[in-house]
């Protein structure tokens, strides 16, 4: 399990704190030019699932929409990464 925590500061920027699972690059949160949230872990970008609401959010690899589609995903509950399927097919 990955133990990673983040919060938002007073102007809405995501602040990450805590330790990352050994071997997993430091995650960075940002937004696209359209304002959509993006999670960057190493060379891989993840987009938040549009259906994610409330305490739980699932992030899918940006290459998910390509065929055959990357199945890598990250699940965050209450600001903690609780599941990381970090096996990419690209």
Over the range 45-72, which residues count as b (16 or more CB within 10 Å of their CB) and which as e? bbbbeeeeeeeebbbbbbbeeeeeebeb
pLDDT value, residue 4: 47
Residues in a beta bridge with 74: 59, 84
One digit per residue, pLDDT tens: the chain, 90 residues? 333 455 555 555 555 554 345 566 777 888 889 988 898 888 889 998 877 777 888 889 988 766 678 888 888 887 777 778 878 888
Predicted confidence at residue 67, as pLDDT, reads 66
Give me the domain span that covers residue 60.
5-85
Q: How far separated are the first and last CA of the chain, in Å rounded?
A: 23
Tokens of 76: 């965050």
**Predicted pLDDT of residue 49:** 84
69 assigned to some structural domain: yes
Give the domain CATH number at 42.
2.20.25
Query: How many structural domains are present in the chain?
Result: 1
Q: Is residue 90 in a domain?
A: no
pTM of the model: 0.66
């Amino acid at each position: 399990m990955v133990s990673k925590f983040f919060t938002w500061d007073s102007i809405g920027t995501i602040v990450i704190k805590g330790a990352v699972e050994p071997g997993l690059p430091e995650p960075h949160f940002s937004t696209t030019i359209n304002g959509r949230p993006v999670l960057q872990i190493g060379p891989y970008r993840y987009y938040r699932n549009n259906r994610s609401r409330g305490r739980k959010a699932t992030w899918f690899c940006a290459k998910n929409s390509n065929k055959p589609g990357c199945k890598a995903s990250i699940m965050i509950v209450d600001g903690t990464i609780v599941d990381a399927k970090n096996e990419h097919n690209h």
